Amino acid sequence: MTVVDYSRTKSSQAAVPRRPAKSRMSVSRNRMHIRSQRLHVVYAYCLTGIVLLAPLPLASNRPVLWMFWAAVLFLLAAVYLGVHLARRTRPPVALRAMALPAVLSGSFVAYVTLQGVAPFADGPASASPGATLMAALRWSSYAVFFYLLVQVAAHKRTARKMGWAIFAGGALYAVLALTLFRFANNDLLLIASRDVYADDVTGPFINRNAFATFLGMIAVLGLSLIQRRRPRLSGVHDAFAWAASEHSLRFVVSAALLAFVFLALIGTGSRMGLIATLCGCALVLFLARRSDAPAHRSRLQIATVPFFVLVGAMVLVSSAGGAGSIEQFDRFLFVASDGVDRLALYRQTMELIASQPLWGHGFDAYEIAFQTVRKPPVDPDLSWDHAHSLYLELWAEAGLIAGSLPFLICAVLLVRVMRSLNSGAGSRSLAIAATSAGLVAGLHSTVDFSLEIEANVFLFLAILSLGFSGLLDNQDS
């Protein structure tokens, strides 16, 4: 019969070391952190892909493409929130950090939906209810897109990589546009001949001004990122060492891509597009110089790159013929006769606003509503589906109060981005890019409807979110 020594067995069991509870918790947290990083990396690829693919099919300026991208974004949002619910985790950025923009966006979408439904006889009603409800769906997808971008860009390294990817992709669109213009008779993606703007560089876009806004935002993004990589040299030895390093190759490639962007921009023949972009680039240089330490503000570090890029692009344009002919530069120096019709269009649009200043005539219903006030000298043979001024068009469609909400949302976001420049939170280069892109888009929107094009909206929201989320990284992550 075997006798078991229970006292010895218990002591030997007690001698086995156990992992502390804190250690097990730290391992669990590390696993959750790795899973969260993987999720956000996947979503960074998805959202960057949306920004870069949206211009390809006619700049996504078709109802079927609006519905497609809305379905994709709603599905991505459902999966994203579902994963966090299943893991019992929270997104990196709390919704309260975006409380005011979220409330304003929700209010605008609700009002536009109310216009389309028109439940009250004396209340807001749309001249085209179907188009207005489609616009409400589109703006809802914009809000979802921005929310997902802010969550992903809360990680600074991911945000910076997304910025470089968007700049490189946008520059490749400039190369594609120049190639189509030079070797394919400016055909639309080699599948259809172009009916309008055949003598201008437009790439996958139909309207040259919309493409100019796209290139302008890409230009300020690229210039902001390149400013961060510019060499700070104190002597000849440092210059040779930098030239032999891989940093010089990256810098030269980035500057070359920026030169192609400027070349395509000039080739569009868009006067206001070029002016808005130059103003945005000037703001980039001013903010970069202002945020630098005094020891880094000397020499040619600020002016050299953009100056030679712009001069080189103009030299290439002037010697290339076609889009770079003297006639193209005349468009930048002299206003064509269509300015008379444009001023008359603005006056008649103001009459349309005055006829329904509170409720508006229905979002995306400008073309139908404008027929009630259209008269000479506005050309009656043309279809005026836009007011050629985003501000006037929104006020005509949504009224003076609700029509001002999109501008107020952008203003709130940009003010917070500019505050981050002073506080030092987030990435300075991305904050500068967001501020300058806001200037480019806002300035060009005074005389055109470029931000009515979905590909431009996606690009603008992407750049804005990259600058905005950097401020939230220290507060709500």
Residue 56: CB partners within 8 Å, gap ≥ 6?
A: 189, 204
* Average pLDDT value for the chain: 81
Which pLDDT belongs to residue 336?
47
* pLDDT at residue 323, rounded to an integer: 44
The residues pairing with 143 across neighbouring beta strands, listed in sequence order, are none
* pLDDT score, position 334: 45
- At 292 the pLDDT is 61
Which residues contact residue 361 at a Cβ distance below 8 angstroms, ignoring those fewer than 6 apart? 126, 127, 352, 368, 369, 396, 397
In this prediction, residue 246 carries a pLDDT of: 60
| Stretches in the chain below the pLDDT threshold 50 | 6, 10-12, 27, 190, 295-303, 315, 318-319, 321-327, 332-337, 473-477
* Residues whose CB is less than 8 angstroms from the CB of residue 78 and which lie 6 or more positions away in sequence, other chains included: none
- Provide the pLDDT for residue 379: 77
**Positive or negative: CA dihedral 301, 304, 309, 310:** positive
3-class state of residue 231 by DSSP: coil
How would you label 97-110 residue by residue, b for 16+ Cβ within 10 Å and e otherwise? bbeebbebbeebbe
Q: Are 258 and 226 in contact (CB under 8 A)?
A: yes
pLDDT digits (tens, 9 = 90+) for 395-433: 999 999 999 999 999 999 999 888 877 765 557 889 999
Spatial separation of the C-alpha atoms in residues 361 and 452, rounded to whole Å: 17
Asked if 206 and 197 touch (Cβ cutoff 8 Å), the reply is yes
pLDDT of residue 200: 85
Return d(Cα 54, Cα 73) in angstroms, integer.
Answer: 13
Task: Give the residues across from 188 on adjacent strands.
Answer: 192
Residue written as token pair 């040619």 = 300
Positive or negative torsion for Cα 262, 268, 269, 271: negative
Cα gap 418→431, rounded to integer Å: 7
The whole-model pTM stands at 0.85
Output phi, psi for 374, to 5 deg: -70, 135
What is the distance between the alpha carbons of residues 67 and 454, in angstroms, rounded to a whole number?
A: 11
